[in-house]
Amino acid sequence: MRSVVYTSVLILALGVTCVHAQTNTDTNEKITIVLADGPLVVDEVTEETDGYWYKRGNMSKFLDRGRVIRIERPKPPAEETAEAKVVEGTGKWKLADAGKIEEFFLAKFKKPLPLRAFGQSDLHTRWGWDHRNGMDVGLHPDSGEGRALIGFLRDQAIPFLAFRSAIPGVATGPHIHIGNRSPRISSRR
């Protein structure tokens, strides 16, 4: 009898834990991936070079880029509809301060900050940008994680630029640039 009660309590506890783990209160707005054969509603989407990772509940799956027609994200609140979010820096930002942003993200989302560039990259050099004191985070600014990161940056008075799409010679796709605006390199080779 005791083992039946113990097993029942264990099953109940695991069931509650699983339901709690699948409930995401920070990003309860759904994203739609439009495919040729119909829409797919997901919790999160991460763009990679050759396709997209999406997450539904506790399952992650990869889609080849060729299958995806477009990604439809929830509309931001009315006060956040500008194409790029710009907060000019106070001159106090240093790349050495990146740790507090990484710590915030890890504590809030239990995963590392998805950095795409930390300091100068080959692409920044080719495009003629001085990115030595900036970092790029691979999050769409309208995603739940992107909005949380932008809120933290604003609260901490950390300068950033948020890009919702690619801009030739400026941005390869949606991301959040942390740091002051990158000036042009005066002598490009």
Would you state the pLDDT for residue 186?
55
User: Residues 112-152: pLDDT tens digits?
Assistant: 999 988 988 888 788 888 888 899 999 998 888 999 999 99
CATH 3.20.20.20 fits 25-74, yes or no: no
**Of 20-34, 46-60, 74-88, 135-149, minimum mean pLDDT range:** 74-88
The residue with tokens 């039946």 is 4
List, in order, residues 6 or more apart from 46 with CB less than 8 Å away. Answer: 52, 53, 54, 114, 138
User: Where, residue-wise, is CATH 2.30.30.100 in the chain?
Assistant: 25-74
By residue count, the chain amounts to 189
The residue with tokens 């990484």 is 102
Q: Where residue 44 falls among pLDDT bands split at 50, 70, 90?
A: confident
- Examine the pLDDT at 43 and tell me if it is beyond 50: yes
Q: What angle do CA 112, 158, 172 make, to 5 degrees?
A: 60
What is the value of pTM for the model shown? Answer: 0.57
Q: What is the mean pLDDT of residues 6-12?
A: 46
List, in order, residues 6 or more apart from 23 with CB less than 8 Å away. Answer: none
Q: Phi-psi region for residue 115, left (φ > 0), alpha (ψ -120 to 50) or beta? A: beta
Q: What is the mean pLDDT of residues 181-188?
A: 66
Of all residues in the chain, what percent carry a pLDDT higher than 70? Answer: 74
